Structure 1
Amino acid sequence: MNTATPPDFPQWDDAATAGMDQPHLLLYRSNLLGSDLRITNYGGGNTSAKIWQRDPLSGADAEVLWVKGSGGDVGSMKLDGFSTLYMDKLRALKGLYRGLEHEDEMVGYLPHCTFNLNARAASIDTPLHSSLPYAHVDHMHPDAVIAIAAMANGEAITRQVYEGTVGWMPWLRPGYELGQRLAAYNAAHPGLRGIVLGGHGLFSWGESSRACYENTVDLIERAQAWLSRERERRQVQVFGGTRFDTLDGAASEATLARVLPVLRGLAAQGSPKLLHVNTSPEVMQFVNSAELEPLAALGTSCPDHFLRTKIRPLIVPEAVYTLEGPALKTALDDLLTAYRADYAAYYERCKRANSPALRDPNPVVILLPRIGMVTIAKDKATARIAGEFYVNAINVMREANAVDQYVGLPEQEAFDIEYWLLEEAKLQRMPKPKPLVGKVALVTGGAGGIGQAIARRMLAEGACVVLADIDEDALASVTADLAKAHGKDHVRGVRCDVTDEASVIAAYGRAALAFGGVDILVSNAGIASAAPIDETTLALWNRNQSILATGYFLVAREAFKLMKAQGTGGSIVMIASKNGMVASNQATAYCAAKAAEIQLSRSFALEGAPLGIRSNVVNPDAVIRGSKIWTGKWSEERAAANKVDEGDLEAFYRDRSMLKRSVFPEDIAEATYFFACEDLSAKSTGNILNVDAGNLAAFTR
């Protein structure tokens, strides 16, 4: 057996593993395997170790199976991601097995085998690991091995690649029966280093965690090297050669910015979705190829692939995505309608008497020749990961077709995995999504104190957020902080000058490319200024109008256009001011612009109502802590106008209020969330919510 890791794979680090116990060595191995997408995809594959431990009940030593639990990811899991089960109890389950037709009931016995009250649910692959007699077992989904497993002559090619040291078993759905057959095959073929499962992946093993790791990556490297040599020898055109040229970057982005909101809206069907764009070299080679249509129609092979991507993608021809306006929407709607009908027919052909109900029939993977791939899901991470899985499928198809003939799983087998009752039970156990999951909020002035607080509130409720700000340094810092706290999938930053029409349009284009569109606009960018009327220059007046009136118009107009294209409604929230309701001394330009914002919001509410687009106003007052406008001359000017020391401003405004309470950015964020969330304010539009701790003169009337 090879004992060295191929040089371009992650290397086992003896110094890092020195002193580790067996569970931590298993975790190290798992994370190392998951760190390289050539070894396994996100969430795919599993690892195990059989470890002797003290039984907390009897005090005697017990053999315990540590195996990746249900729903985990080997690359990012922690020690609590493993299920632990008594091996003697797992072996005893054989006496309860009633055959293939009843194998799903075996999952119900796994909790009875739990060691040390471990709450981590065991996965369906547990019997595959417990049935093999090796101390350390890996089950990976490497593209190179799946390519061989998905070839028409995969069994013969496996023998050729591994010279008889790796076995072959035909496709069988994961479960107890496959575990029994793995054990029988292994017993009948002593001396194997691993077993390839047709259309599925690789099982491999070793005497220690390190030996198991090195065996696994060596087997994968051998498959990669063999495929590379065969491609070179055969000189086969990849995917039958190139049919389309890639659209240049600017034209591609402009097309996507126009198409994605329409596509997103049509695919929503009452449940918001987010989009992810992938233009990687692998994707472009596939979507531009001569064999795109026939290969895409075959569907994917590995069950992990089609569970994430559906059985086949939707192809949007160039003749469709180059259309504009109503013609584009009609053509896309026709394509989606046809796809949904085809998916429903697939369900009707394959459903069993006890199959779960038809799920969302919309495509997950959408391929656009010359442009790339778009994936759609309920949240950004799921959409991104679905795209990564389809890249795995592309890699498999490319390698398989270059050497032999790619073969997807039979339709009925694919259906039985997709609508497996055990998978359905897993879906039903998923927690209820947060209120803003699938929604996209664009927040102008996002790098300021109020903007940050609003973004954090939206992110906490599941939204994705685009922070727009003119201050690039602050924007980069805040975006990085929020991405660290809430995940990089959920946050984007874009420089935006709200007074510049082109800059505003570009910001919405970036939002469309990042997430597919925008559902919530929080117009929050602002300045503050003070001067007696006779000292208010035209430049000062114009600056206030430009940012606070024209800027608010531009960002709301572009949001309105995008929401209209999506056809799924939306929420516009304008952060105005108490000064929009009641004039303040020596702040004429500011007060007039803030009053304009309030009337502007009412106009958007009026025209947006037939489209389900709501528009409301939040009026803060005296948000001093955390607000950027109080760091400049505004603080000094307001102190002078109110004849108080600058350090006493917060106390002055607090004591001036009816409730005698200070107003903070988080208070504005809470009011904004109320208007953004349909569950809370679906019947509110054209409204004003004061968040000022009570100011009689500012009462709405």
Structure 2
Amino acid sequence: MGSLNVNETVKQLLGRSNRLGADPANTNYAGGNTSAKGVGVDPVTGQDVGLMWVKGSGGDLGTLTETGLAVLRLDRVRALVDVYPGVDREDEMVAAFDHCLHGRGGAAPSIDTAMHALVDAAHVDHLHPDSGIAIATAADGEELTEEIFGERVVWVPWRRPGFQLGLDIAAIKAANPQAVGTILGGHGITAWGDTSDEAEANSRWIITTAQSYLDTHGKSKPFGEAVAGFDALPPTQRRAKAAALAPHLRAIASHDKPVVGHFTDSEMVLDFLASEKLGPLAQLGTSCPDHFLRTKVKPLVLDLPASASVEDCLTRLRELHQAYREDYRAYYERHATPDSPPMRGADPAIVLVPGVGMFSYGKDKQTARVAGEFYVNAINVMRGAESVSRYSPISEAEKFRIEYWALEEAKLQRMPKPRSHAGRIALVTGAASGIGKAIATRLAAEGACVVIADLDADKAQATAAELGSTDVAVGVRADVTDAEQVRAAVDATVLAFGGLDLVVNNAGLSISKPLLETTEADWDLQHDVMARGSFLVSQAAARAMIAQGLGGDIVYISSKNSVFAGPNNIAYSAAKADQAHQVRLLAAELGEHGIRVNGVNPDGVVRGSGIFAGGWGAKRAAVYGVPEEELGAFYAQRTLLKREVLPEHVANAVTALTSDEFSHTTGLHVPVDAGVSAAFLR
């Protein structure tokens, strides 16, 4: 085939992958893999050579592009059969795949490469559909497979993904020419076809046929009866309780290593949490390797009714957490061998709270969200299996073999070094423009999850969207002078990301007037926003931070004017001086909780500043007798460094102050004014 045919093969593979991966009924995020075989040209000999394109390690079918494919010489992969050392050493085969690659670039081959290469079909799909896994985890899954699919789908007993599983499926296909796919015990499905369309159709047929059987033959109450008192709280009450619990739950999940959280209160989750089978099914854990690698071997389940008070819930959760950690350590010690990787941590990744919902955790928001999505997949799987049989996941020993697989450990070790603020959750006030937006943008760029709080909800949400998906930033409306709105913003933060680590008091305004023209309303407005507002935000944030027990940072964007007396801004400068002293007071009070409180004193931030654009710039220009458009340059010339200060420079200071490099600094005010000697702190 020529290059056009190669391009068409890849195009068809990517189209099929994206269509299958876009529907969660077909497979979970980053789960499963697809492949296509074809003919390319060996650039050394100029001769045709058989190739295979397959989704590489760590990719996601729904968003797969050509760079996410591994391209291998088919003859070389198949020749590995002759040197395969057996199931006890099959991990060595993954490294051997590197010697089968065709060309440079592309993704690293995954453990499932053999499954695709050894099966004698031009196109192969391996997926993790809930309906298929329900049959795969049913106690009588083999019998159900025959009843549902006849001879068109063959049962494959559980085997850990790898070279031997590829050999098994290849042998099954060869022995069953009428078959279009398999049910992989405890795991998922594999399907194939002579064309890309045929493979996709066979995959979809297996998935929909399995679901149709579950729908028509399944029991109406697979989880048993609802338990009185465990049903869902009303939405407002439910989310209020979730917000109250969230910082404490994050403390539980972060005992070994800080994590980010995600909250889910879908009807499906709440129904499961209210069912009589919640306890025993949760104890069995998940089965599909993708599921429990994300959700851990099993969740932590609060065994109190929905009506239990927050205080009673927290007392019981601490007890359950201790028991969970002891149980996980025992699990590790039961199965670990001398060459097993060290235990990675004994905290839960999933916490289930009846009447409230599910809290899931991970190194970042996406990981936490996906962990929750995977547990929803697991609930679907358990529902399906229980509706027609009995849920029977793979054994604990097999789960351990995968969780502490040397190949999985190697993948973790290859992960890039996290950015400076990875895993941190920030709330920035007045963040839809100017200095606040620059700070939020920089924190997000350094890996933080950011909540954009602003008086203008539309602008807050638009700014958040500029920073990325809701895994990166969300926008909320908040009038910082209103205690209820401030509490709501903090609640929104802990529900969006699990907790709160970093607050920037940036919301502000200024009215430039001399003393005799300053009204009481002018004074009250500026003090309400900056002095009272900072107090309210810091108070609400500190409450959440103390509950987490993870320390934190509070930063005040004050001003050079907090220590320097200039003309015609009595109300603004006095409010900034109030903020500056709040830094000192809170640093002294919150230090015992590991919360650092520092300030940044900017000056002359004209370009990009909402305050200056709102009239302050024109008034200050009039005071100094310069055109407004030259005000930034005027300020620069009066500094020691002769440099104009921009919002990004303030953002740099905030980022540095809240990084590990300043872990022992609190109560500090950092000037970002290009050098104004009259504002030196000492």
Give the TM bin, normalised by the shorter chain.
Answer: over 0.9
Where do 1:350-389 residues align within 5 Å? 350-389=335-374
**Which residue pairs with 2:304 in the alignment?**
318
**Superimposed CA distance per residue, residues 8-60 of structure 1 (whole angstroms, 9 cap, x where no aligned partner):** xxxxxxxxx99961111101111111010000100111001111001111110
**Which residue pairs with 1:54 in the alignment?**
41
Q: Which amino acid letter does the alignment assign opposite residue 285 of structure 2?
A: G
Secondary structure of the equivalent of 2:78? helix
Secondary structure of the equivalent of 1:67? strand
Bigger drift between 355-364 and 279-288 goes to: 279-288
Secondary structure of the equivalent of 2:90? helix
**Which residue pairs with 1:513 in the alignment?**
495
Q: Is the 8 A contact 1:143 1:395 kept in 2?
A: yes
* Counterpart among 569, 594, 599 of residue 581 in structure 2: 599
Give the distance between the partners of 1:472 and 1:237, measured in 2 at CA: 43
Bigger drift between 91-100 and 584-593 goes to: 91-100
- The Cα of 1:208 is off from its aligned counterpart by 0.9
Q: Is the 8 A contact 1:313 1:365 kept in 2?
A: yes
Q: How many residues align?
A: 677
Q: Which amino acid letter does the alignment assign opposite residue 531 of structure 1?
A: K
**Which residue pairs with 2:176 in the alignment?**
189
Give the distance between the partners of 1:628 and 1:620, measured in 2 at CA: 14
Where do 1:132-211 residues align within 5 Å? 132-211=119-198
**Which residue pairs with 1:418 in the alignment?**
403
**Which residue pairs with 1:70 in the alignment?**
57
Q: Is the 8 A contact 1:471 1:495 kept in 2?
A: yes
- The Cα of 1:249 is off from its aligned counterpart by 1.1
**Which residue pairs with 1:240 in the alignment?**
224
Specify every segment of 5 or more residues in structure 2 that has no aligned partner in the other structure, as ranges: none
Secondary structure of the equivalent of 1:48? strand
**Which residue pairs with 2:484 in the alignment?**
502
Q: Report whether the alignment pairs 1:653 with 2:638.
A: no
Q: Is the 8 A contact 1:320 1:331 kept in 2?
A: no
- The Cα of 1:238 is off from its aligned counterpart by 3.1
Give the distance between the partners of 1:47 and 1:18, measured in 2 at CA: 18
Bigger drift between 629-638 and 462-471 goes to: 629-638
Specify every segment of 5 or more residues in structure 1 that has no aligned partner in the other structure, as ranges: 1-16
- The Cα of 1:329 is off from its aligned counterpart by 4.6
**Which residue pairs with 2:681 in the alignment?**
700
Q: Is the 8 A contact 2:255 2:347 kept in 1?
A: no
- The Cα of 1:266 is off from its aligned counterpart by 3.0
* Counterpart among 199, 212, 222 of residue 212 in structure 1: 199
Q: Is the 8 A contact 1:255 1:322 kept in 2?
A: no
Where do 1:519-668 residues align within 5 Å? 519-668=501-650
**Which residue pairs with 1:85 in the alignment?**
72
- The Cα of 1:321 is off from its aligned counterpart by 8.8
Q: Which amino acid letter does the alignment assign opposite residue 56 of structure 1?
A: P
Q: Which amino acid letter does the alignment assign opposite residue 519 of structure 2?
A: T
Q: Is the 8 A contact 2:6 2:40 kept in 1?
A: no
Give the distance between the partners of 2:253 and 2:213, measured in 1 at CA: 42
Q: Is the 8 A contact 2:256 2:346 kept in 1?
A: no
Bigger drift between 154-163 and 473-482 goes to: 473-482
- The Cα of 1:472 is off from its aligned counterpart by 2.0
Give the distance between the partners of 2:209 and 2:243, measured in 1 at CA: 43
**Superimposed CA distance per residue, residues 85-136 of structure 1 (whole angstroms, 9 cap, x where no aligned partner):** 1111111111111211111111121111111134421100001111100000
Q: Report whether the alignment pairs 1:261 with 2:242.
A: no
Give the distance between the partners of 2:631 and 2:586, measured in 1 at CA: 35
Q: Report whether the alignment pairs 1:291 with 2:272.
A: no
Q: Is the 8 A contact 1:466 1:492 kept in 2?
A: yes
TM-score, normalization: structure 1? Answer: 0.95
- The Cα of 1:352 is off from its aligned counterpart by 2.1
Give the distance between the partners of 1:97 and 1:18, measured in 2 at CA: 32
* Counterpart among 127, 131, 134 of residue 118 in structure 2: 131
Secondary structure of the equivalent of 2:347? coil
Secondary structure of the equivalent of 2:63? coil
Q: Report whether the alignment pairs 1:669 with 2:651.
A: yes
Give the distance between the partners of 2:669 and 2:336, measured in 1 at CA: 52
- The Cα of 1:269 is off from its aligned counterpart by 2.6
**Which residue pairs with 2:666 in the alignment?**
685
Secondary structure of the equivalent of 1:615? strand
- The Cα of 1:562 is off from its aligned counterpart by 1.2
Give the distance between the partners of 2:275 and 2:626, measured in 1 at CA: 72
Q: Is the 8 A contact 1:576 1:597 kept in 2?
A: yes
Q: Which amino acid letter does the alignment assign opposite residue 209 of structure 1?
A: S
Give the distance between the partners of 1:552 and 1:236, measured in 2 at CA: 54
Q: Which amino acid letter does the alignment assign opposite residue 460 of structure 2?
A: L
**Superimposed CA distance per residue, residues 353-395 of structure 1 (whole angstroms, 9 cap, x where no aligned partner):** 3111111111111111111111011111000001111111100
Secondary structure of the equivalent of 1:362? coil
Q: Which amino acid letter does the alignment assign opposite residue 245 of structure 1?
A: D
Give the distance between the partners of 2:313 and 2:225, measured in 1 at CA: 29
Q: Is the 8 A contact 2:560 2:673 kept in 1?
A: yes
Secondary structure of the equivalent of 1:503? helix
Secondary structure of the equivalent of 2:151? coil
Give the distance between the partners of 1:291 and 1:331, measured in 2 at CA: 20
**Which residue pairs with 1:9 in the alignment?**
none
Secondary structure of the equivalent of 1:64? strand
Secondary structure of the equivalent of 2:52? strand
Give the distance between the partners of 2:642 and 2:313, measured in 1 at CA: 55
Give the distance between the partners of 1:452 and 1:236, measured in 2 at CA: 51
**Superimposed CA distance per residue, residues 641-669 of structure 1 (whole angstroms, 9 cap, x where no aligned partner):** 11222222112111111111100000000
Give the distance between the partners of 1:635 and 1:118, measured in 2 at CA: 53
Q: Report whether the alignment pairs 1:108 with 2:108.
A: no
Q: Is the 8 A contact 1:321 1:328 kept in 2?
A: no
* Counterpart among 490, 501, 508 of residue 472 in structure 2: 490
- The Cα of 1:207 is off from its aligned counterpart by 1.1
Secondary structure of the equivalent of 1:134? coil
Q: Is the 8 A contact 2:151 2:178 kept in 1?
A: no
**Which residue pairs with 1:465 in the alignment?**
450
Where do 1:328-347 residues align within 5 Å? 329-347=314-332
Give the distance between the partners of 1:270 and 1:392, measured in 2 at CA: 27
Aligned pair in 2 of structure 1 residues 321, 437: CA closer, same or farther (>3 Å)?
Answer: farther
- Taking only aligned residues, the RMSD between alpha carbons, in angstroms, comes to 1.6
TM-score, normalization: structure 2? Answer: 0.97
Aligned pair in 2 of structure 1 residues 366, 266: CA closer, same or farther (>3 Å)?
Answer: closer
Give the distance between the partners of 1:473 and 1:623, measured in 2 at CA: 24
Give the distance between the partners of 2:137 and 2:557, measured in 1 at CA: 56
**Superimposed CA distance per residue, residues 63-99 of structure 1 (whole angstroms, 9 cap, x where no aligned partner):** 0011111111111111011111111111111111121
Secondary structure of the equivalent of 2:91? helix
Q: Which amino acid letter does the alignment assign opposite residue 427 of structure 1?
A: L
Give the distance between the partners of 1:434 and 1:318, measured in 2 at CA: 39
Bigger drift between 65-74 and 265-274 goes to: 265-274
Give the distance between the partners of 2:538 and 2:618, measured in 1 at CA: 32
Give the distance between the partners of 2:306 and 2:445, measured in 1 at CA: 38
Give the distance between the partners of 1:415 and 1:498, measured in 2 at CA: 49
